[in-house]
Amino acid sequence: MAAITTQINGEVLVVGFTDSKILDSQRIEQVGKELQDAVPQAIHKKLLLNFRGVTFMSSAMITKLVMLNKGCKAKEVTLKFCEVSPNVLEVFKITKLNKLFDIQGAEEKGLASFDKKKWFG
């Protein structure tokens, strides 16, 4: 069974998770691989990772997210997160990753945030 789902919404590749708890090491490896494989599918260089339904993830999964962020930067893909549960957001705050990741609210807000013009861009 696939660990992630992908769909195109306008110019944005929206990636979701099929598990509510991402704890098993084999599953985490699968999620990590599928996430990396999804990056080239973001043909408009916009990837939104939707955490809807994810209530818990292990520190090994957080490492995969950091690696995904690096992979996106290398391919000049803008990565944003949305619908992060309070539990998962707390982990991001404790690890200071809320400063690294661009975390939006609802999916609609995440999608709209790609269209905002940057100050110097």
Instruction: Please say whether the beta carbons of 3 and 38 come within 8 A.
Output: no
CA atoms within 13 A on the CB side of 110: 26
Can you tell me the distance from the alpha carbon of 79 to that of 81, in angstroms, rounded to the nearest whole number? 7
Question: What are the backbone angles phi and psi of residue 117, rounded to the nearest 5°?
Answer: -80, 140
pLDDT for 8 beyond 60: yes
The 10s digit of each residue's pLDDT in 28-83 is: 999 999 999 999 999 999 999 999 999 999 999 999 999 999 999 999 999 999 99
All domains in the chain, ordered by first residue: 4-113 (3.30.750.24)
The confidence score (pLDDT) of residue 121 equals 45
The 10s digit of each residue's pLDDT in 111-121 is: 999 987 655 54
Can you tell me the distance from the alpha carbon of 9 to that of 48, in angstroms, rounded to the nearest whole number? 10
Those residues with Cβ within 8 angstroms of residue 58's Cβ, 6 or more apart along the chain or in another chain:
22, 23, 28
